[in-house]
Amino acid sequence: MPIPFIDLQAQRQRLGQSLEDAILKVVRSGAYIMGPEIAEFEAALAAFGEAPFALSCGSGTEALVLPLMAWEIGPGDAVFCPSFTFAATAEVMPLVGASPVFVDIDPVTYNLDPESLDAAIEAVKAKGELTPRAVIAVDLFGQPADYPAIAAVAKKHGLKLIADSAQGFGCTLNGQHPIHWADVATTSFFPAKPLGCYGDGGAVLVKDERLRDLIVSLRVHGQAVKSDIEGKTFEHDPKYLNVRVGINGRMDTIQAAVLLQKLSIFADEIAARNRVAARYAAGLSDLVTVPKVIEGGVSVWAQYTIETQDRDGLAAALREQGVPTAVYYPIPIHRQGVYSGYPVAPGGLPVTEVKAGKVISLPMHAYLTEDDQDQVIAAIRAFVKKNAA
């Protein structure tokens, strides 16, 4: 029987009746949009992520768009991000009319390289065609970016910092969540994420109350919030007083109900994922390049990604033995036609381009059995030794 790449059913079985009851409660209530579970989940998420406020939305992409809209980032503005990531990180800039500027990555963690970032910002300033406004750092494969260094660069240039934790919500660095350094942290609840729902969903974690109010407004078509109508008379539903251009960015109540159940076991699942990662490292580090977490960091291991010179050969050999693999970001964003005209950091993105040709991800989830993992390890070791002979 093939080994599952991600086993969502094992998690569902663990949660059991409580999960089904939570979903059925929403179905019976009829409060399918902005029901009481939304506020309950937002409070729980803020507490887990150690943020003053958390706001749910319809997807991880919306979570990135909303703060850009709130900060009025648009035409003529530059937002700096890695190219070695999913397209959603970069596509939000053109969606608001701004320009992404692509930055290289650290060769060990695959996360944003602070030196490349600083050079990219200086280059954009020197050219004078765009105004630097923000940085989006990505917690790729589940581990935190180098936030102390990245935040220092952002502060030096007066830029906002977004922590894109679509893959990394729950990760920490020196005991702190990314929001400790960032102005905003965002996440995705796509089902395959470490904390995933049963559809699409996302969230924005913020520290500033005014920014919170703006995002509350923007996610519901620019509706008036309390600060907009203070001292004014409007006795109707505030959603019919639209004071800014917004979007439909709400999360379905059923997804909040699902996530409340999953959040209750999330810390335990993070610990389990780290045990799986440690076993992979022990079984493979002498033969292949295994991932290394930044010093002081705790990863949530959205993926376990190794490097190999013969990626296609390894994938084929593992597939024959019922072991699935995945290749993430084989074509970096800056190499894709629709994004190829946007700026890149000085000297290009050499690390990004090398890593894109080497990385391959192995089965990783909190319920991966030792027997299944041993099968994966044995298959990789056999392939590497055979091809080294």
Backbone φ and ψ of 272, nearest 5°: -65, -40
| pLDDT reading at 247 higher than 70 | yes
The SS3 assignment for 268 reads helix
Q: How far apart are CA 124 and CA 343, in angstroms?
A: 8
pLDDT tens sequence across 333-344: 999 999 999 999
pLDDT, mean over the chain: 96
pLDDT class for 25, splitting at 50, 70, 90? Answer: very high
* pLDDT number for residue 235: 76
- The whole-angstrom separation of Cα 250 and Cα 55 is 9
| ∠ Cα 79 85 86 (to 5°) | 95
Instruction: Indicate the DSSP class of residue 240.
Output: G
CA distances from 293 to 152, 183, 290, 301, 369 (A): 21, 23, 10, 10, 23
Mean pLDDT of 146-162: 98
Query: What tokens were used for 366?
Result: 């909190």
Query: Which pLDDT does position 17 carry in this prediction?
Result: 96
Q: Check whether 60 has a pLDDT greater than 60.
A: yes
pLDDT tens across 64-93, in order? Answer: 999 999 999 999 999 999 999 999 999 999
pLDDT given at position 227: 84
CA dist., res. 43 & res. 389, Å (int): 56
Q: Of the listed 25, 125, 193, 207, which one is catalytic?
A: 193
pLDDT computed for residue 81 by the predictor:
98
Judge whether 51 and 204 are in contact, CB under 8 Å.
no
Terminal alpha carbon distance of the chain = 30
Q: Residue 226's pLDDT band (boundaries 50, 70, 90)?
A: confident
Q: Is the pLDDT of residue 180 over 60?
A: yes
pLDDT of residue 141: 98
Q: Which domains does the chain have, with CATH numbers?
A: 8-263 (3.40.640.10), 266-388 (3.90.1150.10)
CB neighbour class for 2 (10 Å; exposed up to 12, middle 13-18, buried from 19): exposed
Can 193 be counted among the known catalytic residues? yes
pLDDT for 118-144, tens place per residue? Answer: 999 999 999 999 999 999 999 999 999
Q: Is 7 helix (H, G, I), strand (E, B) or coil?
A: coil
Mean pLDDT across 163-180: 98
Does residue 98 surpass a pLDDT of 70?
yes
Element (H, E) at 318: helix 311-320
Average pLDDT over residues 176-204: 98
Note if the pTM is more than 0.85.
yes
Q: Which residue has the higher pLDDT, 235 or 276?
A: 276
Q: Which residues contact 356 (CB under 8 A, 6 or more apart)?
A: 84, 329, 330, 331, 332
Share of the chain above pLDDT 70, in %: 99
Q: Is 70 exceeded by the pLDDT of residue 389?
A: no
